[in-house]
Structure 1
Amino acid sequence: MGGRDVATASIWDAAHRRTTVGLLTLVTLVAFEAMAVGTAMPRAVAELDGVAWYAWTFSAFLVTSVVGMVVGGEVGDRRPPGPGVLAGVVVFAAGLVVAGLAQHMAVLVLGRAVQGLGAGVVIVLLYVVAGQAYDSRLRPSLFGAFAAGWVLPALLGPLAAGLLTTHVGWRAVFLGLVPLVAAGLVLLLTGAPGGTPPADAAPWRSRAGWALLAGAGIAALQYAAQRLDLAAAGIAVLGAAALAAGLRRLLPRGTVRARRGIPAVVASRGLLAGAFFGMDALLPFVLTEQHGWSAATAGLPLTAGAVGWVVAAQLQGRRPDVPRQRVLRLGALVLTVGVAATATVAVPALGGWPAYLTWGLAGVGMGLGMPSVGVLLLDQSPEAERGANSAALQISDATASAICVGLSGVLVAGAADAGGPLWPAVLAAVAVLTVPALLTARVAGRTVAPAADPSCATNLGR
């Protein structure tokens, strides 16, 4: 591209339109399935008489999605992404069909596991496609669109799934997505560049086994958080050990210390996700139990957060000239204020109403921060490492979200079981979840390695 072409290029121009629509279609459909399944699952469990299997429908998806992320990263670093996306979508669609036709809960769990494997592969390879098909200046806009692709299903998914489940049946939630997934795949594969395998790809050593170990560790921690008994302590210890061992092989070296460059980027993704989703899962419960809101009303502040996320993501995409680490720091600070201010839901006299404003503010922080993390990752990843780094980003997100959701749930559930007031536990949870948001603001300056930082390059040039 010449300078004029770069300046006037858009993710919606003729060169990118089909790829953009294909990417967003697949992102939205994977996200819709993830959001909608919780609405359809109670009816499925009742029909298949499988209450004992209920938690496994979610755990199976989580475990295999981590494996799929690693497999997708390995494929993306060694082969053109098109065939890998095709395989991932086929696996995901096969899982939808298995789940939609299931006559026993064991088969439904199997279908969910197959879906998770395909979804993990697809989500990572879509990042690889984004790195190949879009110039660096277009990526803020692309990741802003990705944000809408994830957040809008959070707004509409439960309602649409509820209507389908009520008027057509729970199976339609799974089977109805299959033709739409196929359409998105066709648009993506006909619009995206074919690409060639990276010439400097590292020797192949599969890490799928470590991914399975990490996924099992996450599932064990979630299961322990649900039990809250003596056996839960032993399960939690085993789960933590498995998770730590797996992550040690799956994340870039230095991620825990937020070493400059890619490790700090991966760490930032987990910190943002943990802070936001930990409170996002807790908020409806607090509004229901503390203030007596109905289930429908208690979900509305989450809508405010989703709207804030989408709006801010679109706004950051209009300023590709602003260094992404600065946008990330601003987003982290806004998220910190939003999460901390949500402590107001613990005040009985306020009735929980400030949650609309505070959680909308938290959503703005995520809309600024999350797209910036994706841009920083692709801008600094060599072609032969885009897949592995994208997989690490997704694994960091999934792991931190699961841990923080479980931790906040344990704090509040323990207070509820003890029969005491809920507000001290809410304040404790808010305090815990504010920490990762604040840490992200501190880490943001480390997300660009010195050699990749334009300001550093200028100084060296002098």
Structure 2
Amino acid sequence: MTLSPTGPTADCRECEAPDSARIPTVEDRLWTAASWPLIAASLTLVALIAFESFAVTTVLPVVARELGGEQWYSFAFAGTLTAGLVATALAGGWADRAGTNRPLLTGASLFAAGLGMCVLAGDMAWFIGGRLLQGFGGGLVSVVIYALIGRHIAEGLRPRFFGLLSAAWLLPAMLGPVVAGAVTELWSWRVLFAAVLVGTAAASALLWLATARHGRAGTPGAAGGRRRTLAWAIAASLAASVLHVGGQQQGLWRLTVPVAAVVVVVAASRLLPRGTLRAAAGTPRLIALRGLVGVSATGCEVYLTLYLQEARGLSPTLAGWSVAVSALTWAAGSWWQGRRVGSRADDAAFIAAGVGLVLAGPAVVLAVVATNAPVGLAVIGWAIAGLGLGTCYPRISSATLQLAGAGAHGRLGAALQLGEGLSSALGLALLGSVLAVASTLTGGLVAVFAVLTLLAATAAVVAVRTLRSTPSAAPDTGA
């Protein structure tokens, strides 16, 4: 199957949706009178979520110091990923089975509640509780957006849409870290969470209004094994939490770390499509690749910010500027890949090129941390990685949805999110444990970035395999 630049054809079953839910497309036009409300609302919500994500990355060292929870730095960031595991497992089948309205409303409400808890947090436990709610609500909303794209956007136009979603991170990624640093220094980090609360409430309402009449209908028989999937997701979430807690403790608690890691891996084998853990051809390989790239990029961003502020003495604002540079290159990569919509071979080529560039991020930062080289080199390395992320992320997403069978868009969209969430939760927990047992911050960060470099190199190998052997064209139901 090839990506058609002129929209769905009669043989494109994965592009079909219930008649009552179909938003018409006009050949090669993405923006139409019927589709623009969905597109505008999705981009607005993603942009606001992006701002919150970059803001948290910048201010989290300050939050941890102020609330007396430096040892919970990794978990405060990864808490959203941990809770998101359950949400994404629940949301995929829910959206396919019952439509997108209810998961969208539930997710937006919980995300807003989590932001409110962070605004009012008096200690680190309360703050982490808010982050957990944000993760659960954000996980629901993210999968809903994937389901809406799969239902309402023609196959040949999806790379452009995913390119727009990536570009929607540009302004928040550029301004988010800088604004977050400045607001924290001038007023308080709580102001940031309050502002995001207001903005996301408005954006969620806009998306609801744009899709409410299209989101009632689901696909009969689209979901199966809901309780078993949810049970494994809960097990993975709890195990990831134990990983974070156990890694920060002494004595017998440390024995829980390998056990919890095994539980996460076993849960992943049950939650993700068969063959994902060995990167089998087709959607399993794409989902595995998304997970490897995700944990490499997330870990590099989280610990680069910590390194710049705690080891090199940069202010939150300067550290924010350093990280924000990658936003421009991310947008450039997204724009570059969006200019060509062609065959599956094109997808594989963009994916391989992008992942190769992502490897530069942790590899260059590792060299800087180990040798105390100029900080500017780390910024350049992270900027190159941003170019790679903007290039490969939209293509991984569109290639996966291209292989989705009828009624499977939500499940495969959830699988992408779950794969990345599981990888990032497990990776950040283990990296947090490495940092906790290190005798010095610099020594711990050298170990952290060495592991991240290895993970990115593994992703590059998988990407080359994707280039050499394109996925099967048979529709996938996410089983």
2:99 corresponds to which residue?
80
Deviations 1:215-251 (A, max 9, x none): 1222233344445x55453121132132123222211
TM-score by length of 2: 0.80
Higher mean C-alpha deviation, range 262-271 or range 30-39: 30-39
Residue 395 of structure 2 is matched in structure 1 by: 372
User: Does the C-alpha gap of structure 1 residues 300 and 71 become closer, same or farther in structure 2, counting only changes over 3 Å?
Assistant: same
1:81 Cα deviation (Å)?
Answer: 1.0
Q: Counterpart amino acid of 1:160?
A: V
AA aligned opposite 1:374: S
Give SS of 1:137's match: helix
- For the structure 1 residues 287 and 39, does the alpha-carbon distance in structure 2 shift closer, same or farther, using more than 3 Å as the test? closer
What is the CA–CA distance in structure 1 between the aligned matches of 2:443 and 2:59, rounded to whole Å?
A: 33
Alignment of 1:133-148 (within 5 A): 133-148=152-167
Distance, in Å, in 2 between the alignment partners of 1:172 and 1:443 is 46
> Distance between the aligned counterparts of 2:452 and 2:419, measured in 1?
21
Q: CA-to-partner distance for each residue in 1:201-227, whole Å, 9 max, x for gaps?
A: 143522222212111222233344445
Counterparts of 1:58-457 in structure 2, within 5 Å, are 58=77, 60-101=79-120, 107-150=126-169, 152-165=171-184, 169-192=188-211, 194-195=214-215, 196-206=217-227, 207-227=229-249, 229-231=250-252, 233-284=254-305, 297=318, 300-322=321-343, 323-337=346-360, 339-345=362-368, 348=371, 350-407=373-430, 417=439, 425=447, 428-429=450-451, 431-445=453-467, 446=469, 448-451=471-474
- Worse-matched range after superposition: 58-67 or 76-85: 58-67
1:194 partner letter: H
* Other-structure match for 1:35: 54
CA distance in 1, matches of 2:26, 2:431: 45
Q: Deviations over 1:381-423 (max 9, x none)?
A: 1232222221221121122223444555666666x61699789
Across the two proteins, how many residue pairs are aligned to each other? 450
Distance 1:13 1:226, change over 3 A: farther
Give the partner amino acid of 1:326.
A
When normalised by structure 1's length, the TM-score is 0.83
Measure, in 2, the Cα distance between the counterparts of 1:165 and 1:285.
16
Do the aligned partners of residues 175 and 353 (structure 1) sit closer, same or farther apart at CA in structure 2, a change above 3 Å counting? closer
Structure 2 runs not aligned, ≥5 long: 8-24
Alpha-carbon distance change, 108 to 374 in structure 1, aligned in 2, over 3 angstroms: same
Give 3-state SS (helix, strand or coil) of 1:255's partner.
coil
- The one-letter code sitting in structure 1 at the alignment partner of 2:172 is P
Mapped contact 1:36–1:157 kept (Cα < 8 A): yes
Deviations 1:253-288 (A, max 9, x none): 110111221111111101111232333334355567
The offset of 1:142, in angstroms, is: 1.4
The percentage of counterpart residues that share the same residue type is 32
Q: Which moved more, 1:174-183 or 1:334-343?
A: 334-343
Deviation at 1:94, TM superposition (A): 2.6
Displacement of 1:112 in angstroms is: 3.0
CA–CA separation in structure 1 for the residues paired with 2:131 and 2:331:
28
Whole-Å separation in 1 of the counterparts to 2:461 and 2:435: 23
Partners of 1:175 and 1:390 lie apart in 2 by 30
Letter in 1 for 2:349: R
Q: Contact 1:271/1:439 (CA < 8 Å) preserved in 2?
A: no
Structure 1 unaligned regions, length at least 5: 454-462
Aligned residue in 2 for 1:458:
none
CA RMSD of aligned residues (A): 3.6
Maintained 8 Å contact 1:78/1:197: yes
Between 1:427-436 and 1:391-400, the stretch displaced more is 427-436
Q: Residue 272 of structure 1: SS of its match in structure 2? A: helix
| In 1: Cα distance, 2:72 partner to 2:287 partner | 33
Q: Name the CA distance, whole Å, in 1 between partners of 2:367 and 2:423.
A: 24
Of structures 1 and 2, the one scoring higher in RCO (CA 8 A, sep 6+) is 2
Kept in 2, the 8 Å contact 1:269–1:397? The answer is yes
Change (3 A) 1:153 1:208: farther
1:225–1:442 CA distance, 2 compared to 1 (3 A): farther
The verdict on how the C-alpha distance between 1:125 and 1:430 changes in structure 2, with shifts beyond 3 A counting, is closer
Structure 1 residues 392 and 161, CA gap change in structure 2 (3 angstroms):
same
Indicate whether 1:16 and 2:39 are aligned: no
Kindly indicate whether the alpha-carbon contact (under 8 Å) linking 1:59 and 1:219 is maintained by their aligned counterparts in 2. no
Name the CA distance, whole Å, in 1 between partners of 2:374 and 2:44.
39
* Whole-Å separation in 2 of the counterparts to 1:6 and 1:281: 42
